């Protein structure tokens, strides 16, 4: 493994210096060379603190960070061979675009020829040709973001760290830039750690996602694994939309599980966990896993809300007092069920994740 | 600006004390400050020099030494060497201290340190030695001023010879304070223990010797006590202006410099200082104009040799020399206006093409 975090904990004094707050608690993470891993979670979950500990701006209270087999806990940021793209870009306002990008190379006292060559190469990479003499104040948000990225890339870092670099951009630009970032990262094969609270960014960019909450890692996996097989209510709720339906296990035969929920028995397949008979469980049903039909479905319900969103039709259906969110994405379906209409619901029984019942978390 | 920079440091544990104490100069009325300075520095007790040296030496040891043993060795041997050096005759002592800095310069050059450190040490060595030469240079100038017809030019030339001595013959105890910080700058970052200890002993012994030479901190009647009064009076406004300017800089800008390879000093020189330079100049203009017209802070500190124009204005007025007082006043106004114009030209040239530099870029 290239970058390793072992039992990393970071504790800050609480307000008024009474007690302590664990911003990060016992985090373990291994990142392979060339991989892009995203730390994803809500504000205050510890993702930025973790990134800053990797960078060296914060020192872990406990644990060990290793890069290519060497412990780097005590190394200051300027000796770790890493680069960072900040949320605010942190472009030096008194330097031109060229001077900004060349800053790190000037610190290393490289020759002018070498600096010119490397900076121009990186500016071509991020499509900033011809902008070298501009002051940062004359650049758009997207261009500033490219300058920050170029400044980090020109250092040919061992690890590229990105702290919510797209959060200040509008939606369309964000979409363009995340594609660019992914393209560049793949082209240069740079090991990268990305921090965001935006699940779409995480799903688009990452080889693996690390979902964090309240300072701990909830789940690590590929985007598909995180989405299709969330291992907790929090992950299921944070990534995409989900319905949480209570049930009781009737029987399990290998990966086939029979559950009673909403008054009916349903048989689910591709179940990886083991349950025992009578155990309370929660079914995690994504809206796109629900088929809404006039007749023929397993569950009977009433449409309480129907919205046409262009690429999908969104329904809120009430079944036995529980509101279920469903979506219809089949372009051949053109009829919208009106509110109050009685409908039946069916689930894609091989796509549903089942978890032991737990207390609802915020 | 150095004090303001330390005050805004996240990890500097003394920033609260430093911030508070820098504001004290504004709390004390100027006349009281002047009286206070006279009382403290008229016949300063040796204990004052001991306390100031002890605090600075401990600071030196803490920053330069890597562990308790190193610090103890540097402090004990450096201090002992410094105290022994004070037994020498003053003239020889300055030559010896200068020679020690030249030795330190060569030592730094061959120990792999950057040439900047070696050059700085060499310059310090020459400067310390120049204390002996200052009299030899200024005396002929003073003699020449007496040989020409008494008037404006003879006075001006005589004053110039005095000012040469101010530049090259600072009070040794004050110079020692500066040399402690210079020593830290020269030595921190030396990687090998033996090099660090040897250089530390030399760099500490020199300010130690200077701290206890002649009568330490005997400043009354000199030019430096006037400068010290102005500095203390300037501290609150200057530090506040500096802190306000520094706090506007996005902390991630300094972190960006750090992760790109720049250590704290490089970041300060290449990033922080250029960004706060306008505020620096504004503070300079404010301090200059204020102190050109200041009277209360230095009224008790002026002497026959070191007269300040504002004190002279009062003196002339009281003696009926209204026209001379008016001439002095006009001169002050002209000088201040020229200074403001020059500083504004310098500021606008430096900021050319960077009008409206946004310190919160990207926030």
One domain, residues B112 and B257: no
Q: Are residues B284 and B306 in the same domain?
A: yes
Which pLDDT belongs to residue A95?
92
Q: What is the CATH number of the domain that holds B236?
A: 1.10.3720.10
- The whole-number pLDDT of residue B351 equals 60
Q: Average pLDDT, stretch A127-138?
A: 89
* Contact with chain B for residue A17, Cβ under 8 A: no
Q: Do residues B81 and B205 share a domain?
A: yes
Q: What string of H, E and C letters represents the secondary structure of chain A?
A: CCEEEEEEEEEEECHHHCCEEEEEEEEEEEECCCCEEEEECCCCCCHHHHHHHHHCCCCCCEEEEEECCEECCCCCHHHCCEEEECCCCCCCCCCCHHHHHHHHHHHCCCCHHHHHHHHHHHHHHCCCCCCCCCCHHHCCHHHHHHHHHHHHHCCCCCEEEEECCCCCCCHHHHHHHHHHHHHHHHHHCCEEEEEECCHHHHHHHCCEEEEEECCEEEEEECHHHHHHCCCCHHHHHHCCCCEEEEEEEEEEECCEEEEEECCEEEEECCCCCCCCCCCEEEEEECHHHEEEECCCCCEEEEEEEEEECCCCEEEEEEECCEEEEEEECCCCCCCCCCCCCEEEEEECCCCCEEEECCCCCC
Whether residues A135 and B266 touch (CB distance < 8 A) is answered with no
Partner residue facing A91 (CB), from B259, B274, B361: B361
pLDDT at B215: 77
Looking at per-residue confidence, does A128 or B11 come out higher? A128
Q: Does A143 touch chain B (CB under 8 A)?
A: no
Q: Is residue B143 part of a domain?
A: yes
Task: Please tell me which of the candidates A89, A94, A155 has its beta carbon nearest to residue B354.
Answer: A94
Mean pLDDT of A133-147: 89
Distance set, CA B32 to CA B26, B38, B221 (Å):
11, 10, 17
Q: What is the pLDDT of residue B259?
A: 93
Contact across the interface for B266 and A57, Cβ inside 8 Å? no
CA distance to partner chain B, nearest, from residue A303 (Å):
45
Residues of A in contact with B259 (CB under 8 A): 55-57, 77-78, 80, 82-84
Of B176, B192, B217, which residue sits at a domain end? Answer: B217
In this prediction, residue A235 carries a pLDDT of 92
Chain A nearest C-alpha distance from B162 (Å):
42
Q: Give the pLDDT of residue B329.
A: 87
pLDDT reported for residue A29: 94
Residue B167 covered by a domain: yes
Residues B253 and B128 in one domain: no
- Domain with B349 in it: 1-43+220-353
Q: How confident is the model at residue B361 (pLDDT cuts 50, 70, 90)?
A: very low
CB proximity B353 to A under 8 Å: yes
Q: Both B182 and B67 in a single domain?
A: yes
Residue B150 lies in a domain: yes
Same-domain check for residues B95 and B236: no
Are residues B190 and B274 both part of a single domain? no
What ranges do the domains of chain A cover?
3-236, 242-356
Instruction: Determine what percent of chain B is predicted with pLDDT higher than 70.
Output: 85
Chain B nearest-CA distance from A107, in A, is: 6
- Judged by CB atoms closer than 8 Å, whether chains meet at A55 and B259 is answered as yes
Count structural domains, chain B: 2
- Is the CB of residue A109 less than 8 Å away from at least one CB of chain B? no
The ipTM (two decimal places) reads: 0.82
Q: What is the pLDDT of residue B44?
A: 76
Residue bearing the bigger pLDDT, B217 or A81: A81
Of B262, B263, B357, Cβ closest to residue A93: B357
Q: Is residue B360 part of a domain?
A: no
Average pLDDT on B264-273 reads 84
Report CA torsion sign: A55, A149, A41, A189: negative
Instruction: Report yes or no: B274 at the A interface, CB cutoff 8 Å.
Output: yes
For residue A210, the model assigns a pLDDT of 96
In this predicted structure, the answer to whether residue A35 has a pLDDT above a threshold of 90 is yes
Rounded to two decimals, the pTM is 0.71
Give the closest of B252, B270, B356 to A90, CB-based. B252
Question: Options 3.40.50.12780, 3.30.420.10, 2.40.50.140, 2.60.40.3880; which CATH number does A242-356 get?
Answer: 2.40.50.140
The answer to whether the CB atoms of B253 and A92 lie below 8 A apart is: yes
Q: By the 8 A CB rule, do A38 and A210 touch?
A: yes
- A203 compared with B154, residue with greater pLDDT: A203
Element (H, E) at B85: helix B68-85
Mean pLDDT of B263-289: 81
Which chain A residue has the Cα nearest residue B352? A94
Give per-residue pLDDT as tens, B126-162. Answer: 888 888 888 788 888 888 888 888 777 887 888 888 8
Q: Is A154 on the interface with B (CB under 8 A)?
A: no
Is pLDDT larger for residue B291 or for residue A245? A245
The label of the residue with tokens 């450190």 reads B117
- Which of these three, B200, B217, B234, is where a domain ends? B217
Residues B33 and B138 in one domain: no
Q: Using CB atoms, which residue from A83, A88, A92 is nearest to B271?
A: A92
Q: What percent of chain A has pLDDT over 90?
A: 49
Q: What is the pLDDT of residue A304?
A: 92
Query: Does residue B159 form part of some domain?
Result: yes
pLDDT of B15 above 80: no
Q: B148 and B112, same structural domain?
A: yes
Considering only alpha carbons, which residue of chain A is nearest residue B266?
A107
Same domain, B172 and B153: yes
On the question of pLDDT at A131 being above 70, the answer is yes
A155 to B258: CB separation less than 8 angstroms, yes or no? no
The mean of the pLDDT values for chain A is: 89
Confidence bin at B359 (pLDDT 50/70/90)? very low
Chain A contact present for B358, CB below 8 A: yes
Residues B228 and B93 in one domain: no
For B287, phi then psi, to 5°, come to -65, -45
Query: What is the distance in angstroms between the Cα of B73 and the nearest Cα belonging to chain A?
Result: 26
Of A78, A82, A89, the CB nearest to B362: A89
Are B166 and B277 members of one domain? no
Q: How confident is the model at residue B10 (pLDDT cuts 50, 70, 90)?
A: low
B100: left (phi over 0), alpha (psi -120 to 50) or beta: alpha
What average pLDDT does this structure show over B244-257? 85
* pLDDT confidence band for A206 (50 / 70 / 90): very high
State residue B80's pLDDT score. 93
Cα of B346 to nearest chain A Cα, Å: 16
* Whole-angstrom Cα Rg for chain A: 25
The residue from B202, B217, B232 where one domain ends is B217
- Residue B11 in contact with partner chain A when CB distance is under 8 A: no
Instruction: Read off the pLDDT of residues A272-323 as tens digits, 9 standing for 90 and up.
Output: 888 989 999 999 999 988 888 888 888 899 999 988 888 888 899 999 888 9
Q: What's the gap between Cα B257 and its chain centre? A: 28
Cβ contact A57–B275 (<8 Å): no
Nearest residue of chain A to residue B255 (CA atoms): A57
pLDDT of residue A152: 94
**Average of per-residue pLDDT across B255-277:** 86
Answer yes or no: are the C-beta atoms of B295 and B332 closer than 8 Å.
no
What is the Cα–Cα distance from A100 to A147, expressed in whole angstroms? 8
Is domain A3-236 annotated with CATH 3.40.50.300?
yes
Is the Cβ of A108 closer than 8 Å to some Cβ of chain B?
yes
3-state DSSP assignment of residue B260:
coil
Nearest residue, CB atoms, A137 vs list B263, B358, B363 = B358
């Amino acid at each position: 493994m290239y970058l390793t975090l072992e039992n990393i904990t970071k504790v800050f004094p609480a307000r008024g210096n009474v007690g302590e707050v664990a911003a990060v608690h016992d985090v373990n993470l291994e990142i392979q060379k060339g991989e892009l891993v995203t730390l994803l979670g809500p504000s205050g979950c510890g993702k930025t603190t973790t990134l800053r500990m990797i960078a060296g701006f914060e020192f872990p209270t406990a644990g060990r960070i290793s890069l290519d087999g060497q412990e780097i806990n005590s190394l200051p940021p300027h000796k770790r061979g890493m680069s960072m793209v900040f949320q605010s870009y942190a472009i030096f306002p008194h330097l031109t675009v060229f001077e900004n990008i060349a800053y790190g190379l000037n610190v290393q006292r490289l020759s002018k020829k070498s600096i010119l060559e490397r900076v121009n190469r990186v500016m071509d990479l991020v499509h900033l040709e011809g902008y070298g003499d501009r002051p940062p104040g004359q650049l758009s948000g997207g261009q500033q973001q490219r300058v920050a990225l170029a400044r980090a890339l020109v250092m040919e870092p061992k690890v590229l760290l990105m702290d919510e670099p797209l959060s200040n951009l509008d939606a369309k630009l964000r979409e363009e830039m995340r594609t660019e970032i992914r393209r560049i990262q793949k082209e240069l094969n740079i090991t990268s750690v990305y921090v965001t609270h935006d699940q779409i960014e995480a799903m688009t960019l990452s080889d693996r996602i690390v979902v964090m909450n309240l300072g701990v890692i909830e789940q690590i996996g590929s985007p598909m694994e995180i989405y299709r097989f969330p291992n907790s209510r929090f992950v299921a709720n944070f990534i995409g939309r989900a319905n949480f339906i209570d049930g009781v296990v009737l029987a399990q035969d290998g990966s086939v599980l029979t559950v009673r929920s909403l008054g009916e028995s349903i048989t689910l397949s591709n179940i990886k966990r083991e349950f025992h008979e009578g155990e309370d469980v929660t079914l995690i049903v994504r809206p796109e896993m629900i088929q809404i039909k006039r007749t023929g479905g397993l569950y009977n319900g009433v449409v309480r809300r129907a919205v046409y969103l262009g690429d999908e039709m969104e329904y809120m259906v009430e079944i036995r007092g529980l509101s279920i969110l469903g979506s219809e994405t089949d372009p051949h379906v053109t009829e919208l069920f009106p509110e109050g209409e009685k409908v039946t619901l069916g689930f894609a029984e091989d796509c549903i994740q089942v978890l032991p019942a737990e207390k609802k978390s915020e | 600006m150095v004090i303001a920079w330390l005050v805004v440091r996240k990890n500097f544990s003394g920033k609260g004390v430093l911030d508070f104490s820098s504001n004290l100069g504004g709390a004390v009325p100027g006349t009281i400050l002047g009286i206070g300075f006279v009382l403290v520095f008229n016949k300063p007790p040796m204990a004052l020099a001991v306390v100031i040296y002890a605090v600075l030496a401990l600071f030196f040891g803490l920053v330069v030494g890597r562990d308790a043993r190193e610090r103890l060795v540097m402090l004990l041997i450096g201090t002992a060497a410094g105290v022994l050096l004070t037994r020498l005759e003053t003239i020889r002592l300055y030559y010896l201290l200068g020679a020690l800095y030249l030795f330190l310069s060569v030592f730094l050059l061959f120990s792999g340190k950057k040439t900047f450190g070696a050059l700085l040490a060499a310059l310090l060595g020459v400067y310390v030695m120049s204390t002996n030469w200052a009299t030899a240079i200024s005396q002929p100038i003073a003699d020449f001023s007496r040989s020409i017809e008494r008037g404006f030019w003879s006075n001006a030339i005589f004053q110039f010879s005095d000012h040469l001595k101010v530049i090259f013959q600072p009070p040794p105890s004050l110079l020692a304070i500066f040399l402690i910080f210079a020593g830290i700058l020269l030595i921190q970052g030396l990687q090998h223990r033996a090099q660090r200890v040897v250089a530390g002993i030399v760099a500490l012994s020199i300010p130690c010797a200077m701290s206890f030479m002649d009568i330490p901190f005997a400043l009354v009647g000199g030019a430096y006590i006037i400068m010290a009064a102005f500095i203390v009076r300037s501290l609150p406004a200057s530090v506040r202006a500096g802190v306000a300017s520094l706090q506007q800089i996005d902390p991630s800008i300094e972190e960006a410099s750090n992760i790109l390879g720049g250590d704290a000093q490089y970041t300060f020189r290449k990033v922080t200082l250029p960004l706060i330079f306008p505020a620096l100049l504004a503070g300079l203009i404010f301090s200059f104009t204020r102190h050109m017209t200041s009277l209360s802070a230095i009224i008790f500190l002026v002497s026959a040799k070191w007269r300040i124009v504002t004190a002279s204005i009062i003196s002339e007025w009281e003696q009926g020399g209204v026209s001379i007082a008016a001439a002095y006043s006009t001169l002050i106004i002209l000088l201040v206006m020229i200074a403001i114009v020059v500083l504004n030209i310098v500021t606008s040239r430096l900021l050319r093409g960077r009008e409206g530099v946004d310190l919160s870029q990207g926030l």
